[in-house]
Structure 1
Amino acid sequence: MTEVRGRVRWVEGEQFIGRIEDDKCSVILGEGGISPMKLLLLSVAGCTAYDVVMILKKMRQPIEGLEVDIKGERREEHPRIYKRIHIHYRIYGNVDEDKARRAIELSQDKYCSASAHLKLSGAEVTYSYEIIPAAGEGIEAQDR
């Protein structure tokens, strides 16, 4: 079992600073920073982006870049958890479409722990992707 420790410290007003032990950066929460729920959404995007790049590299695909756009819809009633999330992957390079789709599926179905947490809370997570070759037009795939 892996244990992770962190600390959030109230600065003043509605501002807090959070840090995970041994990490080199801190995050400002609340006033002047990012809300915890937006940070959660960004964590999902970062988690799946990392997975997809590592998987495509392992597949020896010529990935040149990746952008992940994410949007979430929250419930109106408390607790205001995410009920729907959509992730759009923009993959740059001459990457094989079947391998790109497989990398995304592996991230979403097996590796991305942040996404799994939201799915366990009942959020519907969907995704779409496009591949933008090194020199040419993008390949748009079906939404999932």
Structure 2
Amino acid sequence: MSDPVRGKVEWFKDYQFVGHIEGESCSVILGEGGISPMKLLLLSIAGCTAYDVVMILQKMREPLKGLEVEISGERREEHPRIYSRIHIHYRIYGNVEEEKAKRAIELSQDKYCSASAHMKLSGTEVTYSFEVVRED
């Protein structure tokens, strides 16, 4: 088993908090004047899967020039207001083969992305789409 991840959130002022993970050099502002925890959760999922897709495509030796991951989520009306649906759209730049792009995304979503897995385990429907933007 790996070492536990430790962090803390401190109340800064009003409805603003500063979060920091032990051993990391940056912090995040949560709440007013920052990002809401639930929106940060969406960005965490997008970041997690983006990391996977870049790594996998590079290992496949695909000519990846860029990647954008757009994410949207719908939350339940009742409390706790968890995400009921999340959609992820991948925009892959470069002359990447569509089948390899699809495979990289599937590996991320089905095997590697722990953040997406957390959502799926809580019953959230996670869907995705992708496009490859080729160079001329």
TM-score by length of 1: 0.93
Letter in 1 for 2:23: D
Equivalences, count: 135
Q: Look up the match of 1:40.
A: 41
Q: Which deviations, in whole Å up to 9, do the C-alpha atoms of 1:95-119 show, x marking residues without a partner?
A: 0110000000000000000000000
Secondary structure of 1:7's match? strand
Percent sequence identity is 76
1:131 equivalent to 2:129? Answer no
Give CA deviations for 1:46-101 in whole Å, capped at 9, x if unaligned. 00000000000000000000000000000000000000000000000000110000
Task: Provide the alpha-carbon RMSD of the alignment.
Answer: 0.5
> Which ranges of structure 2 fall in alignment gaps of 5 or more residues?
none
Which residues in structure 2 correspond to 1:1-144 (within 5 Å)? Answer: 1-2=1-2, 3-135=4-136
Structure 1's consecutive aligned runs of 4 or more residues displaced over 4 angstroms after TM superposition are none
Q: Secondary structure at the match of 2:135?
A: coil
| C-alpha distance in 1 between matches for 2:22 and 2:84 | 31
- In 2: Cα distance, 1:63 partner to 1:24 partner: 28
Q: In the TM superposition, what is the alpha-carbon distance from 1:12 to its structure 2 partner?
A: 1.3
Question: C-alpha separation between the residues in 1 aligned to 2:98 and 2:13?
Answer: 49
1:110 alignment partner AA = K
Q: What TM-score do you get using the length of structure 2 for normalisation?
A: 0.98
What is the CA–CA distance in structure 2 between the aligned matches of 1:133 and 1:106, rounded to whole Å? 22
